[in-house]
Structure 1
Amino acid sequence: MARRPGRRRGIWAIALLVLGVTLIAGPMAYMFARFTPVKQFGENMLPTIPVGSVLAVEKDHGEVRHGDVVTYDPAEWGYDGPFVGRVVALGGDHIAYATGDRTLTLNGKPLDEPYVRDGEAGASGVSFAVSVPQGRMFVLGDNRGNSQDSRFHQEHHQGTLPLAAVTGVDAEMHEESPLMVVLGLLMSAGVCLLPLSLGLGIAWLVVRRRRPAEVPGPVWGATRVDVP
């Protein structure tokens, strides 16, 4: 049986299409399993996170660190979550603010907070001095003048929350891991392969239409005419 014209192009087109889709779908499935989208409805994290922004938060986040932007469950405060806030102190830290001060102090030293809106670290005017118990955290919003955070719930463990209340960490706060870089490169390769497979597929179809396959052997019913 004769080989159809352009058969190799067709095989390559299908192979590249499958490979391209796999390179895109695989990393995307992994990322959907690892991250979850959370929409920011309030103004408490301005200007860092505008109202209506969607955060990609890492569900299996590992260790929570100073300065992390997290989503958390404020059940201990009697609210339904998730809330979004910034971790400014962890277990063993002493966090404090006195009315009139320009900055908070962390373990007796001024806390540098370039992310705070208008640079007003104590915009609410609420004073506090909290020694954070082990396994807990002190959470504030970047918009200190409009944030329902640890400062206003000091009757509950001095406003601290357990680290277990963290439901996710904003992925942009952590440095890119080598794995995430590799996944990004694989997805980019998959995107590049799709138009290549499409081009080969079109070329295969064009060749098939222009050059129909030849059928070997005699043609039954043909009449032989001898020329005198």
Structure 2
Amino acid sequence: MKNRPGRKRGIWAIALLILGVTLIGGPFALMVSLFSGAHYVGNAMLPTIADGDRVLLKRNPPEVRRGDIVTYEAVEWQGSGTSVGRVVAVEGDHIAYVNGESTLTLNGQPLDEPYVLDGAPGAPGVAFAVSVPQGRVFILGDNRGNSADSRYYSELQQGTLPVSAVTGVRTAEDNVVMAVLGLASTVGTLALSVGIGLGIAALVARRKKPVPAGPVWGAVHVDEA
């Protein structure tokens, strides 16, 4: 029994459509579960992040490290609402600033902070010396002259926040995970397009009427004289 016209193309079309939907839907679902985007509002993170900049975040990070730019919910400080800052010290660290000094000190050593606005490590009149308790972090804005951060809540656990208050860590848009997910989505889009094209071709082939082969019944045969 002969295959119906367009059968092979139809099979390829179905396979490519399934592959395309999987490669597009899978990475999209994974990206939504792992990452989130937010528009930053404010000047506390200048010059690193400006007002209105879009920030890509990794949700619920398993680890928070020194130098990470994070989103956090400081309920202890200001009630509800999400803020953005930089983690400058983690549990076990001793972070300090003396008015007039050119740098903060971390565990007794000068802390290099090239990201700080105008190279100003602290705000005038706001000195501190904090030993970060276990499971907590010390957070500052990069614009030290205009940032409501750990320095101003010393009466609450020395201005430290629990790691659980961190809701996301800023990540580069060109990191490996994002690149792989983007590639998978691109391949999925291509597979979906080819699958749709093959599906249309298969339907067209099936609707074409086959040309009859051999003699046609009812035809009149005329002998030449």
Task: Give the length in aligned residue pairs.
Answer: 223
Q: Which residue of 2 aligns with 1:187?
A: 185
C-alpha distance after superposition, 1:133-192 (max 9, x if no partner): 11111100111121110111112111111111111212339x946x65543432232233
1:188 and 1:215, CA in 2 relative to 1: closer, same or farther beyond 3 A?
A: same
Identify unmatched segments of 5+ residues in structure 1: none
Q: Which residue of 2 aligns with 1:213?
A: 210
When structure 1 is superposed on structure 2, of 179-188 and 50-59 the one drifting more is 179-188
Code of the residue aligned with 1:93 in structure 2: it is D
1:206 and 1:75, CA in 2 relative to 1: closer, same or farther beyond 3 A?
A: same
Code of the residue aligned with 1:212 in structure 2: it is K
Q: Which residue of 1 aligns with 2:56?
A: 56
Which SS does the other structure have where 1:85 is aligned?
Answer: strand
The answer to whether the 8 A contact 1:2-1:214 is kept is no
C-alpha distance after superposition, 1:29-70 (max 9, x if no partner): 011112233321111112212222232322231111111111
2-side partners of 1:63 and 1:6: how far apart? 54
1-side partners of 2:14 and 2:45: how far apart? 48
- Identity rate, percent: 57
2-side partners of 1:3 and 1:216: how far apart? 17
The answer to whether the 8 A contact 2:41-2:51 is kept is yes
1:2 and 1:159, CA in 2 relative to 1: closer, same or farther beyond 3 A?
A: same
1:192 and 1:124, CA in 2 relative to 1: closer, same or farther beyond 3 A?
A: farther
Question: If the length of structure 2 is used for normalisation, what is the TM-score?
Answer: 0.84
Identify unmatched segments of 5+ residues in structure 2: none
Q: Which residue of 2 aligns with 1:225?
A: 220
- Give the C-alpha shift of residue 114 in structure 1: 1.4
Q: Does 1:82 align with 2:79?
A: no
2-side partners of 1:201 and 1:118: how far apart? 61
The answer to whether the 8 A contact 1:6-1:208 is kept is yes
Code of the residue aligned with 1:129 in structure 2: it is A
Which SS does the other structure have where 1:130 is aligned?
Answer: strand
2-side partners of 1:125 and 1:9: how far apart? 75
Code of the residue aligned with 1:72 in structure 2: it is Y
Over the aligned positions, Cα root-mean-square deviation in angstroms equals: 2.8
When structure 1 is superposed on structure 2, of 30-39 and 134-143 the one drifting more is 30-39
Alignment of 1:101-180 (within 5 A): 101-172=101-172, 176=175
